[in-house]
Structure 1
């Protein structure tokens, strides 16, 4: 399939994370199109904006922005009109909806979503906890976790844990290794949601081979033997069923999708835990 390329200018008075997430979610719906991203964060002065407008003129394309300063927003729209570049405020339709429903205008605060509030420190605390409890570390402290992930090697335990931590969920993870008993502390856990991660043997073998290749290690190893891997997965599945733990098959899931499913399970688990406490 022939690919088409277009320039995409993302202009923000904060970090630009909102724009990046929204634009990539939309761009993913167009298989034959690749956007060349030009990202301009922390644009808060007229001088900075004029530089951005000049760069848009040098590489015309679509323009998305999140500028709460209305004077800057209007100047950008004027500049794009002169250039002939389509321009859209990502936040404005949502701000209009809020204003219509709440009956009050917003108070412009660039980067307000990144303020050092309680939620921010909660996420930092969760990230610190997760890093300290990665790959079976400090198992005696699992009761302090919100979520505990268990799975055979290469079932995305660590990246999923870190993603959850960025959402404020304290996550520990531990590898399942046949014939190696799990820590005794797991048997008495009450607060954490325990989730078993599963994947097809073929997908695990593929990821493991890539891992060995990156390490320049021997590819002729039981670690990537399909029969051995299939037995690992079967044993882990039996354990999860025996303990009554929730399971998620990560074979065709992105980290974000897996994390979303876990958060949904965790919210239900948390309500049950609170009601029983």
Structure 2
């Protein structure tokens, strides 16, 4: 197995989610993605900071950080000069822009984004709701959902649902199958709460074929035939039109991009 040759250290005096999200987004812009991410959260002491920076320098990587405590921000800058180590301040420029533009001062308290406030508990509730309703397991929950996702098998319904749940949305996803009539609960919903998912047939064929291969099933299954895929897509198109809901072609779209489009429809 080929070893990773690039190292990025994430350093935060909170949990490090913000920095890692930015780092991951950047990594995906490069073809060479052989990168090892070393994440250090809840860094509160100068000794911890110096140690992780020395290790990163030895690995010839760089440090991406979200530190809000002034003392630690000063130390990381000093150590970067001493070690000749590249550092990337994820939050600093944004905080400075806020200070300069709005003449305000930051609280310099780590972890404020993740404190246990009302929004946090709303997200937890949404995640629990969404997991319990995966793949149409609770039809009655459609009436309580913020979003109902409809789509054929392999249209990313579950990962999309979980992603949206982390944004505080209660989501039900329901599989569209020609042999199963849509439930009455679905037909009673306003179109604005329903999203139809589709993709190009050739792309679907590739995904389903890979799925069969992964499961060790024969490649000639009807599930991964163009004829069956076209049949399902035609049925889905008729259903979406009947419901009057927005339809999103997810071909070649990342989960984040599709989720952004869905949020734009709400």
Task: Tell me the TM-score normalised to structure 2 length.
Answer: 0.93
CA distance in 1, matches of 2:176, 2:53: 54
Matches within 5 A, 1:117-156: 117-156=117-156
Q: List per-residue Cα deviations over 1:50-100 (Å, max 9, x = no partner).
A: 221221232232222111111112111111111111223211111111112
TM-align CA RMSD: 1.8
1:42 aligns with 2:56: no
Which shows bigger deviation, 75-84 or 201-210? 201-210
Q: Provide Cα deviations, 1:15-67, integer angstroms capped at 9, x if missing partner.
A: 21111111232333333464432222221112211221221232232222111
Question: Map of 1:234-273 to 2, 5 A cutoff?
Answer: 234-266=234-266
1:204 equivalent in structure 2: 204
Contact 1:148 1:192 in 2 (8 A): no
* Change over 3 Å in CA distance of 1:109–1:7 after alignment to 2: same
Are 1:67 and 2:67 matched, yes or no?
yes
Cα contact 2:150–2:194 (8 A) shared by 1? yes
| Distance in 1 of aligned mates of 2:192 and 2:242 | 18
Cα deviation for residue 192 of structure 1 reads: 6.2
Q: Counterparts in 2 of 1:33-182, with a 5 A limit?
A: 34-182=34-182
1 CA distance for matches of 2:53 and 2:149? 47
Alignment size in residue pairs: 263
Q: Secondary structure at the match of 1:182?
A: coil
Question: What's the CA shift for 1:262?
Answer: 0.4
Q: List 4+ stretches of structure 1 deviating above 6 A.
A: none
SS at match of 1:245: coil
In the alignment, the residues of structure 1 paired with residue 208 and residue 191 of structure 2 have an alpha-carbon distance, to the nearest angstrom, of 33
Please report how far the alpha carbon of residue 166 of structure 1 lies from its aligned counterpart in structure 2 after TM superposition.
0.6
> Partners of 1:156 and 1:88 in 2: how far apart?
34
Kept after mapping to 1: 8 A contact 2:191/2:245 = no
Deviations 1:230-258 (A, max 9, x none): 11111101221222111000111111111
Gaps of 5+ in 1: 267-277
Q: TM-score, normalised by structure 1?
A: 0.89
- Give the Cα separation in 1 of the matches to 2:63 and 2:205: 43
